[in-house]
């Protein structure tokens, strides 16, 4: 994973990182429901997070790497 992505994830508040990690380990249907709910907010942050969840759903290896990276960030703090 890129250093820019790691830095962006590290900048998230701890609760947001935890939520993202939990969303990414959810089953496929759970991720889709959460992404759809985020799109209802119609703001840039919700759209970007929903798009990220959708993208990572299509690429399971990348999803696992992001989950691992989030855990590493939290362990280092």
pLDDT confidence band for 40 (50 / 70 / 90): low
Residue span of the structural domain in which 71 resides: 3-76
- The predicted model scores a pTM of 0.73
pLDDT confidence band for 3 (50 / 70 / 90): confident
Number of domain units in the chain = 1
Nearest in space to 24 (alpha carbons), one of 63, 52, 62, 61: 63
Q: Phi-psi bin for 42: left (phi > 0), alpha (psi -120 to 50), beta? A: left
């Amino acid at each position: 994973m890129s250093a820019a992505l790691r830095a962006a994830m590290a900048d998230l508040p701890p609760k947001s990182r935890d939520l993202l990690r939990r969303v990414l380990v959810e089953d496929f249907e759970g991720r889709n429901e959460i992404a759809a709910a985020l799109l209802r907010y119609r703001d840039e942050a919700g759209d970007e997070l929903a798009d990220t969840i959708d993208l990572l759903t299509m690429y399971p290896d990348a999803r696992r790497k992001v989950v691992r990276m989030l855990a590493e960030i939290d362990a280092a703090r």
